[in-house]
Chain A
Amino acid sequence: MAPDALGVKTRPTASGPGSTRLELARLALAEALATNGVIEAVEGPRGFWVTASDGERLAGVTAVALPDGRYEIGLHLVVRLLVPLRPLAERVRSRIERAATDVGLAYALGPIDVAFEDTSESAEEI
C-alpha cells in the first residue's frame, strides 16, 4: 500500500485511468520494450494477453491482482534471435523493478512472468 502525505498507507483503487494495475502494466510494457533485444510485445492469437481499461489497450502485458494486494505482471515478448534468453529476462525484470521503485509502485509489484512468444528472423535485427 502507498503511504499518503500523512504517512498513512492506503489501498489503491482497482480501476480508472490512473489505477495502479494500469500504471504497472504501462510501466512494465514500456520498460520491456526499451530493453535491448526485445522487439515487440504480442497480445496472442486470441487477444488474451492484453491489459485494457478506459479505452487504453496495452497489448502483450497482463496485470493480475494477487490476494496480497500486489499485481502479477505477465509479459509476452518477441525477441531477437540468438539473444540469450535468461539474461534478457533478468534485464527486463530489473528494469521494471527499478522503474516501479522510481515511481513509488514497488509496493504493488508482484512476480514478473516473462514468456518468449517468438523470435525475429530478419537479418538486420540479428
Chain B
Amino acid sequence: MLLLLRAIARLATFVLLVALAALGLAAAVFSIQGDSRAVSLPRLAQHFRLPELRGVVGPYLDRLEADGPTAWLSVGAGAAMIAAGLLLLAGLLVPRRERLVVLEEHDDARLAARRRPLAQVAAALAERERGVTQTKVRVRPAGLGRGRLRVASYYSRGHSPEEIERRVSAAVEPLADAFRLRKRVRARQGERGRLRVQ
C-alpha cells in the first residue's frame, strides 16, 4: 500500500513540478510586453480562455454559496481532496519498513541480517526435524513492536501436528530469540503429489 502511495506521490510531484515550471516559463515569456500585445499577460489569459472560465466559475460559485446539492457535492469533493492529500503525504513522509533485522547494536556497531537469509536459516533448521517435508517462512522486521517469524511446516503422515509444531518451534527458537522475533509455528499435513515425502 505504502509502496503504491509512494509511487503515486512521486508521479504527482513530477507532473505538478513540470506543470509549474511550464506555467512559470509561460508567465515569464508573456511578461515581455505590456497592454494587450502579442506577448503580454492579458493575451496569455486569452490563450488559456480565462475570461470564458470566469463565465463558467461565476455561476458555480453563486450556486455554491446557496444551500443545495452543489454545496454538498463541493463539501464531499473537498473532503476527498483532503484525504487524497493526506494519503500522498503519507506516501512521502512515512518511512519504509526497515528490511534489516537487527541482532545487536552496541558501541555504534550493528549486527543485522536481511529477511531472506533469516528465512532460509529458519527453514533449514525446521527441515532438519524428522517428519518435516517442507517449510515456508516469513520474516517481518520490527516496526513499532517486535519483529515476527512465521513458520509453516508441512509434515508427512504418521506424525501429529502438535509434535511437529513443538519440535519446529524448539528448532527455530534460538534464531527467534537472538533476533528478538516473535515466532509462530504452524504444522500442516503435506498434500499427496505436491510436496516431497520424507
Question: A interface, by DSSP: helix, strand, loop or mixed?
Answer: strand
Which of A8-16, A22-30, A54-62, A110-118 has 4 or more CB atoms under 8 Å from chain B? A110-118
- Closest Cβ of chain B to A95, distance in Å, is 15
B110 CB contacts on chain A under 8 angstroms: 111, 113-115
Q: Which residue from B109, B112, B116, B124 sits with its C-beta under 8 Å from A112?
A: B109
Q: Could you tell me if A119 and B111 are in contact, using CB atoms closer than 8 angstroms? A: no
A89 CB contacts on chain B under 8 angstroms: 103, 111
Using C-beta atoms within 8 Å of the partner chain, give the interface range for chain A: 10 to 19
- CA distance in complex: A85, B117 (Å): 10
Q: Could you tell me if A114 and B112 are in contact, using CB atoms closer than 8 angstroms? A: yes
Q: Could you tell me if A119 and B108 are in contact, using CB atoms closer than 8 angstroms? A: no
Complex interface residues of chain B between 83 and 133 (CB less than 8 A to chain A): 100, 103-104, 107-114, 116-117, 120-121, 124-125
Complex interface residues of chain A between 67 and 86 (CB less than 8 A to chain B): 72, 79, 81-82, 85-86
Q: Could you tell me if A111 and B107 are in contact, using CB atoms closer than 8 angstroms? A: yes
Task: Render B150-170 as a binary contact track against A, CB cut-off 8 A, 1 for contact.
Answer: 000000000000000000000
A72 CB contacts on chain B under 8 angstroms: 108
- Closest Cβ of chain A to B192, distance in Å, is 26
Residue positions of A touching B, CB distance < 8 A: 72, 79, 81-82, 85-86, 89, 93, 110-119, 121
Q: Give the 10 A-B CB pairs with smallest separation, nearest first.
A: A111-B109, A116-B113, A111-B108, A119-B117, A113-B110, A119-B120, A89-B111, A115-B112, A116-B117, A114-B111
A-B contact pairs, 16 of them (CB 8 A): A79-B117, A81-B120, A85-B111, A85-B178, A86-B104, A86-B111, A89-B103, A93-B109, A112-B109, A113-B109, A115-B111, A117-B113, A117-B117, A118-B117, A118-B120, A119-B116
